[in-house]
Structure 1
Amino acid sequence: MPSELEEVRLIYLPSFIRWQLTRIQLVEFLHSPQPMIRNIALQHLVGYSTGPQNTVFLRDNYRPIKDLKIIARDTPKIAKDALTILANMSEFVKIRTMLAEDLGFLEFVVTSITKPDEPNADLFCVLLANIAKDNAIANIFKIKATKNESKDLKSNKVLDQLMDCFVKGAEKKLNKHATFDYLAFVFADVSRLAEGRKYFVTEQEYDGVVPISKILVFTEYENLVRRAGVASTIKNSLFELSEHTVLLDKDIVNILPYLLLPLAGPEELSEEESFELPDELQLLPPDKRREPDHEILRVHVESLVLLGSTHYGRDFMRNNGVYPLIRELHLAVENDDMREICERFVQLIMADEPGEAPASQRLQITERPEEEEEAPALEAL
């Protein structure tokens, strides 16, 4: 432990000498009783929170992490560095679990995100997104939300408040310091849990809306983080098979068009095929661009496979022109994993149903002609 004299001397050391202090000495200063000492040490430690040198934060039974959790409650300027380190250190499973199991700290993170003028709201979102990878994120359902300062967050449920931040706060419309984009990944991981899935597909009392319906518009959003997180949230929610009827209902959630829009490209379908499509896909512009990220495309097709796990879902998709879109997607992509999941979907849709003509007479998937030139790479948004 550094002595009080050493701590005082640290303040007056020239910056080029401060950099010579060892990492171990710096982390020891994190629990100094002197705020200025802690702040100076913190500033120099941020760079050590990534790469192999970050193991310094694991010493002394994770004492530096415990110190950082306290410093994160300091002024926004000081807290920013502590939050950055905690977010980076969340790559360690043990640390993620420590943070997720600390109900008080988890509550602090969530309530900080929902403060209307919180300067570090997006950094809190990144930290929460990392913490949410641990199953102990189920603790979020134990947090009792207090009345929020923002008139836009009317619910007393934590997830409702986070959802409203995500939807109403896009592009800094709610908090001038935050976009809340990384909440998409929080929702994706929360929806891995049974209680989380149930939340997303259940109408909420405070506004009479099914939460999943609020985020569907982001399947075609400009921001990649939102598109990716929302795609995974939708897919996870579809494991609630008993809710497929409600999710497909055009007057309630109407989920299908939002899964199909990212899959649609500039290809022209026959008049008959176009007529079968949902209304939202019938007047697409000739320059319509397909989702450029193959991983997101794959997740959306996997969502369709999940919808096809029930007779109702398969029948609904057959009657709403899904097959032609998957056929064109299969022809357009050059990714083997994508083509494989497209073929899996077609096999599912082609399965014979009792009382109907064989599906093989109704549907067909076409292989890409060998002589066709390779399609140009899609531009990233």
Structure 2
Amino acid sequence: MPTELEELVDFLGHENIQIRQIAAANLTVFSSSQPSLFKRQELQPIRVLKVLVRDHPAIAKDALTMLINLSADGQILRCLADDDAFLEVLMAKITNPEEPNADDIAMLLANLAKAESFGRVVSLSRKNVDNVSTSTNALNQLMDCFVKGAEGALNKKADYDYLAYLFADISNTEEGRKFFTTKQDYDSVIPVTKLLVFTEHSSDIRRRGVAWTMKNVCFDVPSHPTLLSEDDDTGASLLPYILLPIMGSEEYPDDETSEMLPDLQLLPPDKKREPDNQIILAHLETLLLLTTTREGRDRMRQVQVYPIIRECHLHVENEEVREGCDRLVQVLMRGEEGEENETEKEAMARALALSGQQPGAILGTEENKEGDDDDDDKIVDILA
């Protein structure tokens, strides 16, 4: 005999809208604490919730909340992510500027991106969306929602911030990295460049997701020349957008400032460093990835990346960040194999003296940690 809660779950599919609404409103909390309630009868409640996403906005919001919470379960995640028809429903709704639950859909899509099958969104075609995107590619459409929709500019009831986490997961795949580094035919823009301006956005969700996307993209070593290039037509000019967040209001000697990238010179006295240490660490790891090639190392030395890392090391009292600085400095300041670089050695000694550190304190021996960050594996979970 079914329990009262199981009977309430059954009411989700009731033909009376008021009964559906009461059931949905009262079940949201249990979607997090008792997911087994929704796995009965071979996931029949999940199939009902998929339908309710298209119901009255209040019911749809509760249905989305439940699916966001329930997608933490692997079986349910696969059921949602593998469903082409359901994915199309979500795409149609999130690209509608009048959709009241667009942010909830963004959260659900961010969770679905954890599923391996969701990678098909990179090449998924659908009709273009007037006033949102002229592209017929689903991922391009989501990118355009994210860029155009910041701070309610596209949809007054949504900011699309959680799509940043979706991009981070997509960029974990080879196909995703190729997408983000390939100029798109519909607008002749390299997708990753659309995200760069958000490295100093007010939303920590955007900053975090964009930071991890940039880091993941840099695992594609063949794309490094494009990512480092400052050519307006062919390059992504990644460096200033990685370095700006880790800079504060510190003053640098004229000889260092004059060689920095133009965007990093003469920063205002109230310039604030990124407050989230994990985001700073992600940017440091991105820079470390860009040192994989000789071209990358030489470019960073040329534009005085070292002094910026030196100041970050001095002013951020966080062990992980300082270790990240150590690893990067170890690569930047050592001479190339078979070469002697006295200038770099002298600069290193001077910086150590200024910082009060003993030789070896910054030049650590810890190996580069290239594993996934915890945030890459998080499922967005919300409670009623």
TM-score in terms of structure 2 length? 0.87
Matches within 5 A, 1:298-337: 298-337=281-320
2:12 corresponds to which residue?
30
The correspondence of residues 91-102 of structure 1 with structure 2, limited to 5 A, is 91-102=72-83
The residue number in structure 2 matching 1:205 is 185
Shift of 1:207: 0.7
Deviates more, 1:37-46 or 1:124-133: 37-46
- Could you tell me which runs of 5 or more consecutive residues in structure 1 were left unpaired when the two chains were aligned: 3-20, 371-381
Q: Which amino acid aligns with 1:278?
A: L
Q: Please give the alpha-carbon distance, in whole angstroms, between the structure 1 residues aligned to 2:352 and 2:51.
A: 60
Choose which of 144, 159, 181 in structure 2 pairs with 1:164. Answer: 144
Matched, 1:129 2:110: yes
Computing the radius of gyration over CA atoms, which structure comes out larger, 1 or 2?
A: 1
CA RMSD after TM alignment: 1.9
- Equivalent in the alignment of 2:100: 119
Matched, 1:281 2:264: yes
2: CA distance, partners of 1:129 / 1:88: 12
SS in 2 for 1:228: helix
Partner of residue 40, structure 2: 59
- Match of residue 261 from structure 1: 244
After TM superposition, give the deviation of residue 144 of structure 1 in Å.
Answer: 1.9
Give 3-state SS (helix, strand or coil) of 1:73's partner.
coil
Distance of 2:132 and 2:45 partners within structure 1? 37
Single out whichever of 155-164 and 40-49 deviates more from structure 2: 40-49
Output the TM-score relative to the length of structure 1.
Answer: 0.87
CA shift, 1:74, in A, is 1.7
2:329 to 330, 346, 363: 346
Query: How far apart in 2 are the matches of 1:162 and 1:136?
Result: 17
- Report the count of equivalent residues: 350
Is the 8 Å Cα contact of residues 168 and 216 (structure 2) preserved in structure 1?
yes
1:40 aligns with 2:40: no
Assess if the C-alpha contact under 8 Å between 1:169 and 1:179 holds in 2: yes
Counterpart in the other structure of 1:366: 352
In 1, Cα distance between equivalents of 2:91 and 2:56: 17
Match of 2:135 in 1: 155
State whether structure 2 residue 69 is matched by structure 1 residue 88: yes
Aligned to 1:366, the other structure's residue is in SS state helix
- Higher RCO, Cα 8 Å, sep 6+: 2
Task: Indicate yes or no: 2:223 matched with 1:223.
Answer: no
Alpha-carbon separation, structure 1, partners of 2:326 and 2:35: 44
**Structure 2 stretches lacking a partner, 5+ long:** 358-384
Alpha-carbon contact 1:273-1:321 (below 8 Å) kept? yes
What is the deviation of 1:142?
A: 4.9
Equivalent in the alignment of 1:290: 273
Paired AA for residue 56 in structure 2 = T
Distance 1:196 1:117 in 2: 29
Question: What is the rounded CA distance, in whole Å, between the counterparts of 1:362 and 1:201 in structure 2?
Answer: 35
Confirm or deny: 8 A CA contact 1:101 1:139 kept in the other structure: no
Cα distance between partner residues in 1 of 2:61 and 2:167: 23
Q: Is the 8 A contact 1:72 1:78 kept in 2?
A: yes
Structure 1 residues 114 and 266: alpha-carbon distance in aligned structure 2, compared to 1, 3 A threshold: same
Find the counterpart in structure 1 of residue 371 from structure 2.
none
Instruction: State the secondary structure of the residue aligned to 2:348.
Output: coil
Structure 2: how far apart are the matches of 1:287 and 1:39? Answer: 50
1:77 to 42, 51, 58: 58
Equivalent residue, structure 2, for 1:144? 125
Supply the distance in 1 between the matched residues of 2:229 and 2:79 (Cα, whole angstroms): 41
Q: Greater CA deviation, 337-346 or 106-115? A: 106-115
State the shift of 1:202 in Å.
0.6
1:301-327 CA-to-partner distances (Å, cap 9, x unmatched) read: 000000001111000000011000001
The one-letter code sitting in structure 2 at the alignment partner of 1:244 is: H
Partners of 2:21 and 2:58 within 8 A in 1: no
Amino acid at match of 1:27: V
> C-alpha offsets along residues 140-170 of structure 1, whole Å, 9 cap, x if unaligned?
135321131x323111111111111111111
Secondary structure, aligned partner of 1:205: coil
**Cα distance in 2 between the residues matched to 1:166 and 1:135:** 22
Once the two structures are superposed, residues 111-166 of structure 1 have per-residue CA deviations (whole angstroms, 9 ceiling, x without a partner) of: 21111211111110010011112222112135321131x32311111111111111
Q: 1:147 to 1:266 in 2, by over 3 A?
A: closer
CA displacement, residues 73-129 of structure 1 (integer Å, 9 cap, x when unaligned): 223232111011101111222222221111211222122111121111111001001
Single out whichever of 34-43 and 350-359 deviates more from structure 2: 350-359
- Conservation of the 8 A alpha-carbon contact between 2:200 and 2:207: yes
CA–CA separation in structure 1 for the residues paired with 2:95 and 2:239: 31
Q: CA deviation at 1:62?
A: 2.2
Cα separation, 1, equivalents of 2:298 and 2:45: 57
- Between the aligned partners of 1:22 and 1:199, the Cα distance in structure 2 is 49
Identity %: 47
Partner of residue 229, structure 2: 249
Which residue identity does 1:360 align to in structure 2?
Answer: K
